[in-house]
Amino acid sequence: MTSTRAEEVAEILWELKRADKVATYTNIAKRAGFSAGSNGRAMQTALRTVRRDWPHLQWWRAVKDDGAVEKDSEHQEKLVESGYEIAPATGEDETVTLSALDDILMSWEEAGSGEEE
């Protein structure tokens, strides 16, 4: 059985696809009516369910709040395939960061309240 959280996240991922944007775990969770949890754990759980139940949705549009993505991961690959730029890793960290994060993040406030269909 699919969780209500995952259903809400799935709807938001569809919005992100239509807008050709990404969003942070915290903003997606907030829009879906729950807390992203410590280090985004609640969001990660919801995303695992989305990937299992709706594999066609672009789960990779959800990113950590700082834009960090695991280096050489499927997440990084999907973002790059879709035209998003990744800043090179610094140091020995196992993450890379989305470039120009502020420019590609979805802002529902800017979209206005009349976007509901």
pLDDT digits (tens, 9 = 90+) for 79-112: 999 999 998 877 677 889 999 988 999 988 744 4
**Chain-wide mean pLDDT for the chain?**
88
Residue 24's pLDDT is 96
Q: Residue 2's pLDDT is what?
A: 61
**pLDDT for 4-31, tens place per residue?**
999 999 999 999 999 999 999 999 999 9
Q: What are the Cα distances from residue 78, in Å, to 72, 73, 99? A: 10, 9, 15
pLDDT at 62: 97
Query: What is the domain partition of the chain in residue ranges?
Result: 4-106
Give the residue-averaged pLDDT of 51-79: 94
Neighbours of 79 (CB within 10 A): 22
Length of the chain, in residues: 117
- pTM (two decimals): 0.86
Angle made by CA atoms 18, 64, 106, in degrees to the nearest 5: 30
Domain spanning 4-106, CATH architecture: Orthogonal Bundle (1.10)
* pLDDT above 90 (res 117): no
